[in-house]
């Protein structure tokens, strides 16, 4: 882990995960689960489901409350672990863990509001009810870029709805999977409940495929690429299961001629550079009205040149490394494709000659019709393009296969209401005067088209984790 060795030893020891030799650069060794391990875990989880779904929902909420409190006591150390293992800067790592804590708080309130309906019956002296019941087991497959927050969006809601959870974390972030599981298991055991209510596996595609094919798991929530998500969906649907997909994003920010330029520039910087461009909500396309195009581009180039790149655990760092050497290779290949399709590099465009997977934050001037613009390059690469009218900007925004997040910067109410209406953005998340990245847990998070159509976290997303009995 290079220069992270001593730091890693200190906070992994606090989590009970530390190596015996603090001078060793190998900070942990993790054995991945086999199919035999998976089968043993699923049997235990299925037995635990019979107990968990019988517990009243408010009492299930109390267990989730305790999980949130346990996470609070380890917030700083878990946040550092996320930053170390994934590569995002420390404020983002801590913020990710805080998001699970917030989801726990939200789920506690929800546990007393899983309301059904009383519906007028057409038959005399009859009553018709709608009752919501648990599914049983919910499978959650998460990606490296948010190694624990996405788990929280799903698991907190699934648990209060009366479901057990089977989680497969990303194979490149096993330590956060283990740490989270230890914390949840301790809460369950303290309350004399089976630890298998929350069952997790460190593993690769073999375990993910087993979850997708397992008839004991009525709902599978998958976060990852559209390509893999489609395979998961096909396997789940073959057995008539339900799928909740959170897939690729190709998010655009539109800056109108009346926009607050300084606000827009700050927002674009954080949306495009944060997490080294490895968020599903990263701003990848910047659409600028022709009258403000050069002003915005010039200001962005200046702030890009000032981005502090380095150790994600150090204060003041804005851009940490890409997650793996393969991520860096994909960045290099992506830049070559961009140039071949007429893209002009305005700033950045190269890897940084140092230890680690560091690359330059990059701005590319390119035509919106270029094929590469339609694809998601998972790195800090921002495409800038020019438009003349609002309708043209909306058409460009909607022209890609993905439909996760979108944003417009304007002061005009008539533009805002068109943007959020049926003839505006076709994305699941539609923002005004804020960037594309991030979301509030009270709302339903998810997107349309090749983003999968799933919804997680707030609003009425909880209904996906239950079955309706009329």
User: 10 Å Cβ neighbour count for 183?
Assistant: 18
- Residue 291 is predicted with a pLDDT of 98
Evaluate whether 145 touches 278 at the Cβ level (below 8 Å): yes
Evaluate whether 142 touches 170 at the Cβ level (below 8 Å): yes
For residue 438, the 8-state DSSP code is -
- For domain 251-446, the question of CATH label 3.40.309.10 is answered with yes
Q: What is the CATH number of domain 31-247+452-469?
A: 3.40.605.10
Residue where the block lists tokens 């461009």: 277
Is 314 noted as a catalytic residue in this protein? no
- The closest alpha carbon to 461, from 448, 442, 436, 447, belongs to 442
Query: What's the CA gap between 131 and 162, in Å, rounded?
Result: 13
Phi, psi of 344 (to 5 degrees): -110, 120
Whole-model pTM: value is: 0.93
- The angle formed by the CA atoms of residues 346, 436 and 79, to the nearest 5 degrees, is 100
**Largest separation between any pair of C-alpha atoms in the chain:** 79
Q: Exposure string (b/e) for 348-363, b if CB count within 10 Å is 16 or more?
A: bbeebeeebbbbbbbb
Evaluate whether 346 touches 363 at the Cβ level (below 8 Å): yes
- Residue 13 is predicted with a pLDDT of 60
Q: What is the pLDDT of residues 23-37, one digit of tens each?
A: 446 778 899 999 999
| Cα torsion angle, 95, 97, 101, 102, sign | positive
Report the chain (470 residues): mean pLDDT per 10 consecutive residues. Answer: 46 56 66 97 98 98 98 97 96 97 98 97 97 98 97 98 98 97 98 98 96 98 96 98 97 98 98 96 98 98 97 96 96 97 97 94 97 96 98 98 98 98 98 94 96 96 98
The catalytic position among 99, 246, 376, 456 is 246
Query: What's the CA gap between 83 and 89, in Å, rounded?
Result: 6
Q: What is the pLDDT of residues 348-375, one digit of tens each?
A: 999 999 889 999 999 999 999 999 999 9
Query: What's the CA gap between 266 and 164, in Å, rounded?
Result: 42
User: 10 Å Cβ neighbour count for 306?
Assistant: 8
Q: Domain-by-domain residue ranges, the chain? A: 31-247+452-469, 251-446
- Residue 243 is predicted with a pLDDT of 97
Alpha helix positions (H), 161-204: 174-190
Element (H, E) at 109: helix 90-110
Residue where the block lists tokens 């409190």: 69
Structure tokens, 99: 């998001």
Evaluate whether 168 touches 203 at the Cβ level (below 8 Å): yes
Query: What's the CA gap between 152 and 98, in Å, rounded?
Result: 10
Structure tokens, 448: 């349309």
Residues 6+ apart with CB under 8 A from 247: 222, 223, 224, 225, 226, 229, 280, 402, 447, 450, 451, 452
- The angle formed by the CA atoms of residues 296, 300 and 304, to the nearest 5 degrees, is 175
């Amino acid at each position: 882990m290079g220069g992270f060795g001593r730091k890693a030893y200190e906070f992994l020891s606090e989590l009970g995960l530390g190596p015996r030799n603090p001078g060793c650069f190998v900070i942990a060794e993790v054995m991945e689960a086999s199919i035999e391990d998976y089968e043993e875990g699923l049997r235990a989880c299925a037995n635990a489901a019979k107990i968990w779904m019988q517990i009243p929902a408010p009492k299930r909420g109390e267990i989730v409350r305790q999980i949130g409190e346990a996470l609070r006591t380890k917030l700083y150390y878990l946040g550092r672990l996320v930053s170390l293992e994934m590569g995002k800067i420390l404020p983002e790592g801590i913020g990710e863990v805080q998001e699970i804590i917030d989801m726990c708080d939200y789920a506690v309130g929800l546990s007393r509001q899983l309301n059904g309906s009383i519906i007028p019956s057409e038959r005399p002296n009859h009553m018709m009810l709608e009752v919501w019941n648990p599914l049983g087991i919910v499978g959650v497959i998460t990606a490296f870029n948010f190694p624990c927050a996405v788990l929280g969006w799903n698991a907190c809601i699934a648990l209060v709805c009366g479901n057990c959870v089977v989680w497969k974390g990303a194979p490149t972030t096993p330590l956060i999977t283990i740490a989270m599981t230890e914390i949840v298991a301790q809460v369950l055991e303290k309350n004399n409940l089976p630890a298998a209510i929350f069952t997790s596996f460190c593993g690769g595609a073999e375990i993910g495929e087993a979850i997708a094919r397992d008839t004991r798991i009525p709902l599978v929530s998958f976060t990852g690429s559209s390509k893999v998500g489609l395979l998961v969906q096909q396997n789940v649907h073959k057995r008539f299961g339900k799928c909740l997909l959170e897939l690729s994003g190709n998010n655009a920010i539109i800056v109108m001629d009346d926009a607050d330029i300084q606000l827009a520039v700050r927002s674009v910087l954080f949306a495009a550079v944060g997490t080294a461009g490895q968020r599903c909500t990263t701003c990848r396309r910047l659409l600028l009205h022709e009258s403000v195009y050069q002003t915005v581009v010039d200001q962005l180039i200046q702030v890009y040149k000032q981005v502090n790149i380095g150790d994600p655990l150090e204060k003041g760092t804005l851009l940490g490394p890409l997650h793996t050497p393969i991520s860096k290779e994909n960045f290099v290949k992506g830049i070559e494709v961009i140039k071949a399709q007429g893209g002009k590099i305005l700033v950045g465009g190269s890897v940084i000659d140092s230890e680690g997977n560091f690359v330059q934050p990059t701005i590319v001037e390119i035509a919106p019709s270029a094929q590469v613009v339609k694809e998601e390059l998972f790195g800090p690469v921002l495409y800038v393009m020019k438009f003349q009218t609002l309708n043209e900007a909306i058409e460009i925004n909607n022209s890609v296969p993905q439909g996760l997040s979108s944003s417009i910067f304007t002061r005009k109410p008539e533009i805002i209401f068109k943007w959020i209406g049926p003839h505006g953005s076709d994305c699941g998340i539609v923002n005004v005067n804020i960037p594309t990245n991030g979301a509030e847990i009270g709302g339903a998070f998810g997107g349309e088209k090749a983003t999968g159509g799933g919804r997680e976290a707030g609003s009425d997303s909880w209904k996906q984790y239950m079955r309706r009995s009329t």
